[in-house]
Amino acid sequence: MKKARHSDSLLFEPRNPDYANQVREAFEGQPMLRSLGVELFLIEPGYCELHLPYRQAISQNHGYFHGGAISTLADVSGGFAGWSLLPEGMWIVTVEYKTNIIAPGRGEKLIGRGRVVRSGRSLTTTEIEVLAVDRGQERLCATALQTLMAVEANPT
């Protein structure tokens, strides 16, 4: 029997009722994500799922997804999951994250699933899974743990 992750059972209440639109707008405003081809698939309070279709331009010399693309997907999935819980007028920045690539990023796309483990007043902790989808089958490719900090969006 497969055990659920601790974070799967956590339910969060967003402090900004318009969090989904806020995340979508911020996502659309990031040129790097656009250049990589990252797609926002799902945003819920404390959860974000991103998809990254395979292109040779983001591969490494063996044809797998490059580790930089895998790590970027992890960082952004966790970051938007954390930001979905902040009050209006706050922004999130990554303080630290560690990504372990445990299998080649091989397939037609990557899926990044970021989940909040704890959301505090200033620090948020997330865990992220990056899955490689090959012929319709998901395979865990990387796992990450991240610490985020809430900052004022427009400090005076």
Domains annotated for the chain, with CATH where assigned, are 12-152 (3.10.129.10)
Tell me, what's the pLDDT at 11? Answer: 82
37 vs 107: CA distance, rounded Å:
15
49 is written with which tokens?
A: 């799922």
Per-residue pLDDT tens digits of the chain, which is 156 residues long: 666 666 666 789 999 999 999 999 999 999 999 999 999 999 999 999 999 999 999 999 999 999 999 999 999 999 999 999 999 999 999 999 999 999 999 999 999 999 999 999 899 999 999 999 999 999 999 999 999 999 998 765
Tell me, what's the pLDDT at 3? Answer: 60
Tell me, what's the pLDDT at 52? Answer: 98
